[in-house]
Amino acid sequence: MAKKVKGTIAILTGGGDVPGLNPAIRAITIRAIREGYRVIGLRRGWAGIVELVQDPKADNSYNFVELTQIIVNKAGRTGGTFLHSSRTRPSHLPKANVPEQHRDTYQEEYNDMTKVVLDNLNYLGVDYLIPIGGDDTLSYAVRLYKEGVKVVAIPKTMDNDVPGTDYCIGFSTCITRTINMTNTLRTSAGSHERFLVLEVFGRYAGFTAMLPTMAGAANRCVIPEYKFNIEGLTELLIQDRFDNPSNYSVALVSEGAMFEGGEMVFKDGEKDQFGHAKLGGIGELVSQRLKELSPKYNNGKKINVINQKLGYLVRGGDPDAIDSIVPMAYGNLALDLILKGVHGRLVVLKNGRYDNVPIDVVTGKSKVVNIEKFYNIDRLCPTYNSFEMNPLFIMTSDY
């Protein structure tokens, strides 16, 4: 006799890829199947559910896949997301992205496709939705929750800036790789007695620059929360270089960092559906200015710069230990809530313990570095008074 299915759980991953997504999908799927649920993976973030064709004869393999233990076990130890991802925003879908079957109905420059999403979730028989993403992906999950969808969300982002949680999937691997790659490039910086400038992730929050610097990977860091003075940074790095027997110094630059009196540096004018233009270039600009200004503070002698944008090097590849363990726990926490009939929650790590909070915390506040507590604006580096009773990664917006 066929085993009766308790219901259907849908999983999706949205926004940028990070190591740890596949372990989360694996944990959810294995536990859910064991508990008697059918599990489907919505492919390409919110795009898969928007583009679904409600026809039994249609090929929807590009939009969703039924998940099995064999499928998730194969992917569970790897990085990225085998469900794929996108930055699709169903509430603001450009006319050019409207699926062919809906073009007669949705003809505005930007279209709210939420009704289509709700209809398609109902067509698939989805009882619970588990989106894994950052504040953009999860902000739309909040919208669906308010529309009546039973949502249990999981936080993911390299920047560690989803509100309500001390930890987001991907952060540990990001800072681990940043430390490793900075140390790798030290040999070149020391060999040539140069400045080493590394541009790292961090649009609005500087955690990915702060933690490696605090761990000793860099002398200075500049972050989005504080507009820095380039002459001050130059003077500090020259002193750091002078104090170093190998005659080099290191600065980490968040991609969203801004010069004093300036704004964010964008790669081009193109924006994604969440209104974000692609950042890129602040590290190169900082490098140019350091080289130009260096004679002023170095007895008239110019100092050359090694400039490297780490970018996808810290995003790709396999997860580290923390990004293998935490996603597994988050996936099981999500199932715990579903088994209790609880929804509208975000699973989190708070004060060193796993917990859950209302999902609308994602849209209720922002999570950035507490400048007064953790950043020395004169020294352009992390500062702290005590580690006692602080979370594992020291700083969150709640501390």
Q: Check the CA dihedral 291-293-296-297 and report its sign.
A: negative
Q: CB-based contacts of 184: which residues, under 8 Å, 6+ apart? A: none
Over residues 327-357, the pLDDT tens digits come to 999 999 999 999 999 999 999 999 889 999 9
> Where do the domains of the chain lie?
8-169+320-364, 172-312+370-382
Lowest mean per-residue pLDDT among 45-59, 182-196, 257-271, 298-312: 257-271
Give the model's confidence band at 384: pLDDT under 50 very low, under 70 low, under 90 confident, else very high.
Answer: confident
pLDDT of residue 8 exceeding 50, the answer is yes
Q: Give the percent of the chain with pLDDT over 70.
A: 95
Residue 255 backbone phi and psi in degrees, to 5: -60, -25
Query: Which fold would CATH assign to domain 8-169+320-364?
Result: Rossmann fold (3.40.50)
Give the model's confidence band at 26: pLDDT under 50 very low, under 70 low, under 90 confident, else very high.
Answer: very high
Of residues 277 and 202, more confidence is placed in 202
pLDDT of residue 275 exceeding 60, the answer is no
Active-site residue set: 159
Give the model's confidence band at 2: pLDDT under 50 very low, under 70 low, under 90 confident, else very high.
Answer: very low
Looking from the CA of 208 toward its CB, the CA atoms found within 13 Å total 33
Across the range 258-282, mean pLDDT stands at 71
Over residues 196-243, the pLDDT tens digits come to 999 999 999 999 999 999 999 999 999 999 999 999 999 999 999 999
Q: What is the pLDDT of residue 237?
A: 98
pLDDT of residue 139 exceeding 80, the answer is yes
Q: Tokens 């001050």 sit at which residue?
A: 232
pLDDT of residue 193 exceeding 80, the answer is yes
Task: Strand 195-200: give its sheet, edge to edge.
Answer: 220-222, 249-254, 195-200, 305-309
Q: What is the pLDDT of residue 365?
A: 86
Mean pLDDT of the chain: 93
Please determine whether the domains at 8-169+320-364 and 172-312+370-382 fall in the same fold group of CATH: yes
Q: What is the pLDDT of residue 393?
A: 86
What dotted CATH number matches 172-312+370-382? 3.40.50.460
pLDDT of residue 399 exceeding 50, the answer is no
Q: What is the pLDDT of residue 265?
A: 77
| Distance between CA atoms of residues 356 and 212, nearest Å | 28
| Distance between CA atoms of residues 176 and 180, nearest Å | 6
| Distance between CA atoms of residues 202 and 224, nearest Å | 7
Nearest residue to 317 (alpha-carbon basis) of 193, 219, 124, 174 = 174
Of residues 263 and 299, more confidence is placed in 299
Tokens of 188: 């070149």
pLDDT of residue 270 exceeding 80, the answer is no
Over residues 305-319, the pLDDT tens digits come to 999 999 999 999 999
Q: What is the pLDDT of residue 263?
A: 80
Q: What is the pLDDT of residue 102?
A: 96
